[in-house]
Amino acid sequence: MRFSLKKEKISTNASGSKAPQIANARLKCIYFPIRQGKENIERILESLDTEGCGVGENFENYSRVSIRRLGRLLPDARWAILPFMDFRQRKGDQSHLLKRCCLRVKCFVETDAGFNPMPSKTDLAHHSPFSIALRNFGNRPQDKEKDVDIEIHRDGKQLTPLQLEREYREWLLLMHHRYDEEIDSGEDPPVLIVNPLNKKALGISSDVIRVHQALKRKELLWKSGQKIKVLKGAYAGCYKNNVYAIIEYFLIEGFEGDSGGEARIICRPLGTENGCELSVKGGTPSLNIQDSLSLPISVIDSGKCIAINDSDWERQLEKHNQKTPSRIDLLNVKQCHWLEIDGAFPTSLTIPAGQTPPEDIVAVFRPSSFEVSKVSNYLDQKDIVKTNLDMLMKVQYRTENHRDAKHINSLRIAPSSFKGFHGLYKFPLGVKLPHLFQKAGAYTFSFSTEHSRCQNYNLTITVVPSEKVGRWQLLGDTRFPSYSVRVGSCFPPLSIACYDIYDNRMSFTSIPNLKITLGMNEYLSVDVVKMKPSLSSDKLAIVIEDVMVETNGLDSIRPNYAATLMIYIQDESTSIPLECQVTPGALHRIEVSSRLPGKQLLPGFILEQFVLEMFDVYGNHVEEGLEVQFQLDGFSIPGLIGSKHKVDNLGRIDLGGLLKVTAGYGKQVSLSILHGDKVTFKQAFQTEKRELRISSIPEHCLAGSTLENISFEVIDSKGDVDGTFHDDEKCGRFHTLVVKSESHQIDDSIRYAFKHGRCNIASLPLPQIEGPLCFKAFHSRYTELYCDVEISLVHAPNVDTDENEVQSSDGKLMLLQNSPFFKNGNVGNLLALVKYDEGLKSELCKHGERVGKLENCLKTLNCWKTDIELYMSELQDSLEPDLVNDLDCLSTKEEITKLIEGRGHSAASTLLCSIAQGHWMDVMQDVVGVVALLGTAGSIKLSRILAEYLGEDQMVAVVCKSYEVARALEQYDHNGEVDSRLGLHAEATALSKSISGRFLVVCLEDIRPYLGGVEVNDPQRKLILPAPRLLSGNYPPGFIGYAVNLVNLEHPHIDYRTESGHGLRETLFYRLFSKVQVYETREEMENARNCITHGAVSLDGGILRKNGILSLGFRNPEIYFPVQITNVSPERKKIMEQIKEKQLELRTTLQGINVASEKLDRARHKFNRKQKQFQKYLDNIDDAINDTVTPSTTPSQCTQRLGTPSKVII
């Protein structure tokens, strides 16, 4: 160590020379280990005494520092341990070990001339700064020491004081573990414990200890159970009093034979109950010191641990018991009165609610010698222990029904003196808790203290309800949060409790007088006579059971059926109101309140007034929403999906204007109502009778001829013609006649109109086959109106008469009776020739007239076409070219709706027509609409490609809120076939439509929604979807967005939410499109195939579906999303709409021109053919007549020359 003075502190001595500025010292520390339980330093001192060199020192006060100056020993420089070597006041890990080991070190100091000696040369100068710095080395430097700088070197390495202290500490522990032999073993086999718990409390540092019960020290045997006395000052913490204890165990660190092991004494002090515990669990021993003490074995070596006999132990135990509290007790009323304190509980431990608590409670500690049986009303200090312990009072409250106690108050106080008595604990009660005893229940007062074996004191006072009644209350039942019963049924059991003025429940001894009424309004109330009162098992409540209400006045409190049940107690002096709801009973009977039609019903007739009143068994109208099932025979209810109907808010079902007769004439029709699979009501009607009658027709007709002027008429039951059978398409009345034959070919597609009850058929061609002809004439709608007709067809008969004349078609030929033709029997052939001439001429005229009409029609259509094209050209010239080429962007929702309505055999058409005509079905409010009408697109290209991707079946799919609504759109009969009388099929029938094939229905509640989140700040609530990326990490060129986000929702559909809170975009459109991507061109879409997983479309018509499916070809869908435009002015929009109308008109005209041209070609072909046939006939008829007059010509030759008459084509 090098000591140096700071420059400003260097002074001169008396001779004028400067004092030394530098001093050096070398410190050498020698460790004297303990051997066989004895300190080596102590052995050295004993040997010096034996040799007669008495030094007058022992191990405790032995000088640990010796100093030499310039090699000469300074005999008076015998210092105590240097501060940096002293660990006796240190704390922390292994501090108890270092405290002992530091006393086994002797430090030898070599100094140079820089240190000034005393004049006697026997010690260093006490006031020299270097001497002071050396003596205090290791302490915090004082003011005098701050003038000296110290440099420390060890093994050529400079150290700081902290580094020196750390290295010294490590060296000290190393010496201990290497050389110390505290004790080798005990006198009994040890118990080995590895990794003992709580090393700090045990006072050890090793991971292995040996536990002994006997140990030999200083030639004396110490063993477990031995009573000892440890003098004060023997160890840290024992300074004021001697400690009396019992030895339990001896601990030795490390394995047997290891160096550095320490030994400890485990002992249990007098009065300690929880001593050290040695236990073995699962073959592994453990040691728990608990409240015992761990003393170093050195207390025996120092003579401060003395063994005592049993008599001394008993005497100390008796003294301890006299000073130790045994139990806690409370002073009684007389003892508190003697102290002039209002501080005692009443003698009775049961008190009524509201009693005032005492002002103070006085508690004391009783000694072990105190006998309870000898307690007196006077105080004696010997019965009160004077101690410094605090006492705690806890007050807890517990009702009879609850086991868990409720904490009210806690108070901890110190002992006090009063009237010359010490050790009194005065707890204020009345001032702190003045309303303590107002709630009924058990109040427990617990008095306890800590750090003592004193027995606690508990006192329980029971508070019962007061006798003063405060209120009556109806007790609620958690099973019945609200009282709602049906008339004729019983209320849940009603429990009534009585409370005193402090709100404590009182018990009943008997049942008081009770009366119950049901108040429905201020003018109407009924008495309840059916009830059964009783007391509860604990006598704390009156239980009223089987309370039944019977009344027919519930209609006065519709629709909420709110009423008040009044319970009167003790001659109506006290009443308890109970708000309740009394609803009508089950459906019992049904009455028709409206006037039924007096005459019989007609098909298609709608009953304008037909109200069904629904009553329960007491005559109350049933509750709103009750469902009944209809069975309709010959009736239909337009708009009713399913067979169930709900009662309205008046307890009725109003079928006025809804019940329509669908049966034909002369039929039985009926309406039945079922409730609970039981027919509750049935009403039958009869439709009026009608008959189809035909005028007289001949029984025989020539085959191939024509029936003319056939008249049919519809007559009623009186035989009068029913003029209501009048066909009028504009008024929606369709009355036509159909003629059909099963045996012969008659065109049954022709409809013959009724006019004011009659139908005339101008001509009806007859077959050319001889035999009976049967045909049926019937009404096209009412097939029960029919008549069967039978005619016998025959060939033309031979004419056998004396005189006959026939005029030919040209009026020039006359055949006489004596003509050879008649003589040869050819009159029939002549008649056939005449008839064939007339037919051929008639056909030729008919085809000529048809050609002329078609030519005129075609000319008119061509004129219209020219006018339309000219007008369109003028309109297009007033618009920009891009608008002319994008007219489809004006495809509005109304246009798409008309297109869908035009699909006459679809469910979507039926649904939209039903809405348009106001036929609201029961579930219509739960039908969202059709897919194509729920959103719009930004351009016609986008709209068409999205519609083509989905297909028309999904575009016209019906969207419903739930599966139940979807199932109600279609019903089935017992064979599993679709029942066309119910659901959407019945609605289609009522609209003169039909639904063919299957149709799609979307159930929103059953769709798994998109859970990735939506853009809340966007009014359209678009889905948050990650943009696609190519393998290079870049965004694909031409990507426009996801299809699900490119469809814009319109009001009110944008605000629609399912029960789980999801909109149409998260449910419907995510189900339809998923993550389909939209690109500008097909080429850009194909280049981005690597990042397309759910399909993609391009605006130029490309469609790429998922899982490697391509849609090729081209299709122009007619049903697509309406297009929303924002950048076209109203004037331009109007012109574009006019052009679209003209385009549609032009398209229709062109279709008409094509049809007319085709018909004209066919008509001209037929006319030319008939013309050639007629010309051939004219050329040959003269030769035929000449041959007929000539006798040599036979009839067969005449027929061959004329040819066979051709078939007439109409």
pLDDT per residue over 96-153, tens digit each? 778 888 888 999 999 999 999 999 889 999 888 999 999 988 887 665 557 889 999 9
**What six digits make up the tokens of 335?**
């003892």
Reduce the DSSP state of residue 43 to 3 states and report it.
helix
pLDDT attached to residue 12: 52
Containing H/E element for 352?
Answer: strand 350-352
Residue 582 pLDDT = 92
What's the pLDDT score for residue 115? 92
What torsion do the CA atoms of 206, 207, 212, 217 make, to the nearest 10 degrees? -10
Residue 10 has pLDDT above 90, yes or no: no
pLDDT in tens, 561-609: 899 999 998 777 788 898 899 999 999 999 988 777 766 788 888 888 8
Question: Is 251's pLDDT higher than 50?
Answer: yes
User: How confident is residue 475, by pLDDT bands cut at 50, 70 and 90?
Assistant: confident
What pairing do the DSSP bridges indicate for beta strands 1001-1003 and 562-569? unpaired
Q: Is the pLDDT of residue 894 over 50?
A: yes
pLDDT score at 819: 40
Instruction: State both tokens at 740.
Output: 């059909």
Distance in angstroms between the alpha carbons of the first and the last residue of the chain: 144
783-800 mean pLDDT: 74
Phi, psi (deg, nearest 5) at residue 633:
-120, 105
Percent of the chain with pLDDT over 70: 85
Predicted confidence at residue 19, as pLDDT, reads 56
Query: Position of tokens 């290209």?
Result: 941
Residue pair 442/398 in contact by the 8 Å Cβ criterion = yes
**Contact between residue 447 and residue 328 where contact means Cβ atoms under 8 Å apart:** yes
Q: Where residue 414 falls among pLDDT bands split at 50, 70, 90?
A: very high
- For residue 1079, the model assigns a pLDDT of 94
- Which pLDDT value is given to residue 718? 85
Q: Give the percent of the chain with pLDDT over 90.
A: 20
Between these two residues, 79 and 236, which has the higher pLDDT value? 79
Find the Cα–Cα–Cα–Cα dihedral 1188, 1189, 1191, 1194, rounded to 10°: 0
Mean pLDDT value of segment 68-94? 85
Render pLDDT for 443-453 as a digit per residue (tens, 0 to 9): 999 999 886 67
pLDDT digits (tens, 9 = 90+) for 608-656: 888 999 999 999 999 998 889 888 888 888 766 667 888 998 899 988 8
* Structure confidence at residue 383 as a pLDDT band (50, 70, 90): confident
778 is written with which tokens?
Answer: 């019937």
Evaluate the CA torsion angle 1064, 1067, 1068, 1070 in order and state its sign. Answer: positive
Q: What is the structure's pLDDT at 87?
A: 83
- Please write the tens of the pLDDT for every residue from 1095-1139: 999 998 899 988 888 888 777 788 888 887 656 666 767 777 777
Examine the pLDDT at 533 and tell me if it is beyond 70: yes
Identify the pLDDT of residue 851: 85
| CB atoms inside a 10 Å sphere around CB 625 | 10
Tell me what pLDDT residue 885 has: 56
Rounded to whole angstroms, the Cα distance separating 526 from 542 reads 22
* Per-residue pLDDT band at 918 (split at 50, 70, 90): low
Confidence at residue 733, expressed as pLDDT on a 0 to 100 scale: 74
pLDDT band, very low/low/confident/very high, at 1078 (cuts 50, 70, 90): very high
Helix (H) / strand (E) containing 379: none
Split at pLDDT 50, 70, 90, the class of 268 is very high
Q: Provide mean pLDDT across the span 374-395.
A: 83
Q: In terms of DSSP H, where are the helices of 1039-1129?
A: 1043-1046, 1070-1073, 1082-1087
The rounded distance, in Å, linking the Cα atoms of 582 and 1084 is 71
Res 821: pLDDT: 39
Strands (E), 416-500: 416-418, 421-428, 441-448, 457-464, 469-475, 484-486, 494-500
Between CA 628 and CA 644 the distance in angstroms is: 6
Q: Which of the four pLDDT bands, split at 50, 70 and 90, describes residue 810?
A: very low
Q: Is the dihedral of CA 953, 957, 963, 969 positive or negative?
A: negative
Structure tokens at 519: 């108040």
User: Residue 800's pLDDT is what?
Assistant: 43
1028 contacts 1092 by C-beta, under 8 angstroms:
yes
Tokens of 884: 């002319």
pLDDT, tens only, 538-550: 888 999 999 999 9
Count Cβ neighbours within 10 Å for each residue of 766-797 and write b for 16 or more, e otherwise: bbeeeeebebbbbbeebebbbeebebebeeee
- Residue 128 has, within 13 A of its CA and on its CB side, a CA count of 23
- What does the pLDDT look like over 1009-1062, one tens digit per residue? 998 888 888 888 899 998 898 888 888 999 999 999 999 988 778 888 888 888
Sequence-distant (6+) residues with CB within 8 A of 1004 are 928, 959, 960, 961, 962, 1058, 1064, 1067, 1068
Is the predicted pLDDT of residue 917 greater than 70, yes or no? no
Type of residue found at 1040: I
Which amino acid does the sequence have at 286? S
Given a cut of 50, whether residue 664 has pLDDT beyond it is yes
pLDDT on residue 808: 37
| Residue in 913, 1067, 910, 1070 with CA at minimum distance from that of residue 986 | 910
pLDDT at site 142: 63
Angstrom distance (rounded) from CA 844 to CA 748 = 26
As a whole number of angstroms, the longest Cα–Cα distance in the chain is: 206
Q: Note the pLDDT tens digit of each residue in 145-177.
A: 578 899 999 998 999 989 999 999 999 988 888
Residues in the chain: 1210
User: Given strand 1077-1079, what is the order of strands in its sheet?
Assistant: 1039-1042, 1077-1079, 1096-1098, 1103-1105, 1109-1111
Name residues whose C-beta falls within 8 Å of residue 601's C-beta, 6 or more positions apart in sequence.
661, 669, 685, 686, 687, 688
- Segment of 53-57, 533-537, 852-856 carrying the highest mean pLDDT: 533-537
Q: Which two tokens stand for residue 659?
A: 């019940």
Question: Tokens in use for 290?
Answer: 């608990």
The DSSP call for residue 766 is P
Distance, in Å, from the CA atom of 1037 to the CA atom of 1027, rounded to the nearest integer, reads 12
Question: Considering the entire predicted model, what is its pTM?
Answer: 0.41
Q: Domains in the chain, please, with CATH? A: 2-179 (no CATH), 191-319 (2.30.30), 324-464 (2.60.40.10), 469-583 (2.60.40.10), 589-686 (2.60.40.10), 691-794 (2.60.40.1930), 892-1122 (3.30.70.1620)
- The two beta strands, 457-464 and 350-352, are parallel
Please write the tens of the pLDDT for every residue from 701-731. 887 788 888 889 999 888 888 888 888 776 6
Q: What is the pLDDT of residue 1191?
A: 47
pLDDT of residue 831: 47
> Mean of the pLDDT values across residues 974-988?
78
Residues 6+ apart with CB under 8 A from 995: 905, 906, 907, 910, 984, 985, 988
CA nearest to 954, candidates 1047, 1020, 886, 892: 1047
Alpha carbon distance 1062, 1058 (integer Å): 5
Pairing of strands 38-39, 1039-1042: unpaired
Can you read off the two tokens belonging to residue 32? 């004297």
pLDDT of residue 807: 38
Does residue 690 register a pLDDT over 50?
A: yes
Lowest mean pLDDT among 70-74, 799-803, 1164-1168: 799-803
- How far is it, in rounded angstroms, from Cα 911 to Cα 908? 5
Outline where DSSP puts E strands in 1054-1146: 1077-1079, 1096-1098, 1103-1105, 1109-1111
Question: How crowded is residue 829: how many other Cβ atoms within 10 Å of its Cβ?
Answer: 20
What's the average model confidence in pLDDT over 31-50? 84
